[in-house]
Amino acid sequence: MGLFSKLFGGGKAQQNDEAKDEAKAAAEAEEAKADPAAERAELAADLDSSNGAARVDAGRALLDRWRAGDNDAAEVMVARLPALFEDSEPQVRMIALACVRQFRKRENLEKHTSATLALLADPVSQVRTSAVWAVARLPGDVARAQLRAVLGHQEEAMRFAAAVALADLKDPSCLKELTTAIGEQHRRHEALSALMALGDASAAPAVKEQFDDERIGDLDRTACAAALVRLGDASGKPYLLERLASAYGDDRPNAVEWAGLLGVTEAIDALTQISDDPDDLCNGAALKALARLKAPGIEARLLAIAQDPKQPDLRLDAAEGLAELGTPECRAALETLAKSDDEELAETARESLHELAVADAIKKAEADALAAADSARADAAKPDAASSATAGPPPSST
């Protein structure tokens, strides 16, 4: 608007028109939000935009919907996946790789194997690193061989990403890279977590060397102690118990959590004391650790806390502890909490119930797979009925 318009009001009509346009755009935006299908169609159209940022935003939004269970959003992304792999915008290619990690069926993963493997050589380093994690989802010996080959890559970031991914797959080829990485402060925690996922006891001496190094801090030493316990080296357990007894230290919450996750039953008394202290900042974490350890009386205690509105903060931890136990009584309590007026508590309960449902589904799938394998072995061991019928009686011994 020009100077004269500002002074004499000549732009008033223009201002009104602009205000009407803005109001109309806002109304249309609200209408789109009220109509998921319309908003989804708009996002799908944005995937074809000439604006790279618009394609990135649309891809992220549709991917988030897919992760949240929106099947229609999944169909949109799957239909565009070949184009997303070849998009000129690096972040769009990374979104394509994230889509691959969403697949569960072997045939869907196999369909995009070539495009996924090709991005291991992408000119952008972030895309290459993302490709490592997508390749880890691919079935078959070829993909696994390609992932192992990345351990010899010239870039340390690629080697490390491949090592962590292989650890998740229980592939011991990653051992050398990970035991080297724990000597680097910026890699130590992630490398230790990967070694714990791998669970190869042969890594214990390298971890013990770091644990004994006087130069590392409390957080690193506690992480090393936890890794030692996970790898079967008892020397880490006394240190974890020592940190629980300490009244200070940034690593103490970690020690509380590791004691529960690693099944350190010797920590039950210390954890109980921590959970009983209303002034101890670790009391909620201690409750969850006690639940993981199936400590005596913990279920009744968690049920009582979860129903006590006078303990709002601990109720959240109690809800998570109930999920750790997963008994019928705990599940029923979580169902009730999911309807609470306290939205944060209700959301925590709903998330806990969802995690239990996922865990139940995984257990059922594993049980069904074992049953099918047993049935197949039993069928293979049975004599062929048809051939037995035509073969006639066995020859007489006389």
**Predicted pLDDT of residue 379:** 85
* Distance between CA atoms of residues 109 and 251, nearest Å: 40
Q: How does the average pLDDT of the chain come out, rounded? A: 89
**Predicted pLDDT of residue 366:** 86
Is residue 60 packed enough to be buried (19+ CB in 10 Å), middle (13-18) or exposed (0-12)? Answer: middle
Mean pLDDT of 61-89: 95
**Predicted pLDDT of residue 372:** 87
* Distance between CA atoms of residues 151 and 148, nearest Å: 6
320 has a pLDDT exceeding 90? yes
Is residue 342 packed enough to be buried (19+ CB in 10 Å), middle (13-18) or exposed (0-12)? Answer: middle
* Distance between CA atoms of residues 315 and 307, nearest Å: 7
Among residues of the chain, what percentage have pLDDT more than 90? Answer: 78
**Predicted pLDDT of residue 72:** 95
Long-range contact list for 210-215, CB < 8 A, 24+ apart? Answer: 210/182, 210/183, 211/235, 211/236, 211/239
Name the residue type at position 187. Answer: R
Mean pLDDT of 333-338: 96
Are 191 and 181 within 8 A, CB to CB? yes
* Distance between CA atoms of residues 117 and 134, nearest Å: 9
**Predicted pLDDT of residue 15:** 44
**Predicted pLDDT of residue 28:** 46
Of 231, 213, 156, 223, the C-alpha closest to 190 is 223
List the structure tokens of 220.
């690193």
**Predicted pLDDT of residue 222:** 97
* Distance between CA atoms of residues 233 and 225, nearest Å: 9
Mean pLDDT of 104-113: 94
What Å distances lie between residue 2 and 8, 16, 167, 232, 371, CA to CA?
10, 16, 65, 77, 80
List the structure tokens of 104.
């569960």
Q: Tokens 């490592």 — which residue?
A: 132
**Predicted pLDDT of residue 8:** 32
List the structure tokens of 316.
């959240």
Are 132 and 147 within 8 A, CB to CB? yes
233 has a pLDDT exceeding 50? yes
Of 152, 144, 208, the C-alpha closest to 170 is 144
**Predicted pLDDT of residue 358:** 87
367 HSE (CA, 13 A, CB side): 6
* Range(s) within the chain of domains with CATH label 1.25.10.10: 52-166
The string of pLDDT tens digits covering residues 173-228 is 999 999 999 999 999 999 999 999 999 999 999 999 999 999 999 999 999 999 99
Among residues of the chain, what percentage have pLDDT more than 70? Answer: 88
* Distance between CA atoms of residues 127 and 282, nearest Å: 39
* Percentages of the chain per state (helix, strand, coil), in multiples of 5: 75, 0, 25
The string of pLDDT tens digits covering residues 10-51 is 444 444 444 445 554 454 445 445 578 889 999 999 999 999
Are 306 and 318 within 8 A, CB to CB? yes
Q: How many CB atoms sit inside 10 A of residue 275's CB?
A: 26
* Distance between CA atoms of residues 130 and 95, nearest Å: 9
User: Residue 50: in which H helix or E strand, if any?
Assistant: none
**Predicted pLDDT of residue 13:** 43
The alpha carbon of 67 is separated from its chain's Cα centroid by a whole number of angstroms, namely 12
3-class state of residue 384 by DSSP: coil
The string of pLDDT tens digits covering residues 345-396 is 999 999 999 999 988 988 888 888 889 888 888 888 877 645 555 555 555 5
3-class state of residue 73 by DSSP: helix
**Predicted pLDDT of residue 392:** 53
**Residue 340 DSSP symbol:** -
The string of pLDDT tens digits covering residues 125-182 is 999 999 999 999 999 999 999 999 999 999 999 999 999 999 999 999 999 999 999 9
The pTM of the full predicted model, rounded to 2 decimals, is 0.79
**Residue 9 DSSP symbol:** -
Domain range 297-368, CATH class: mainly alpha
**Residue 393 DSSP symbol:** S
* Distance between CA atoms of residues 30 and 246, nearest Å: 54
**Predicted pLDDT of residue 391:** 54
**Predicted pLDDT of residue 7:** 32
What is the CA angle 174-121-163, rounded to 5?
A: 10
Mean pLDDT of 269-279: 95
Q: What is the CA radius of gyration of the chain?
A: 29
Domain range 52-166, CATH class: mainly alpha
Mean pLDDT of 238-248: 92
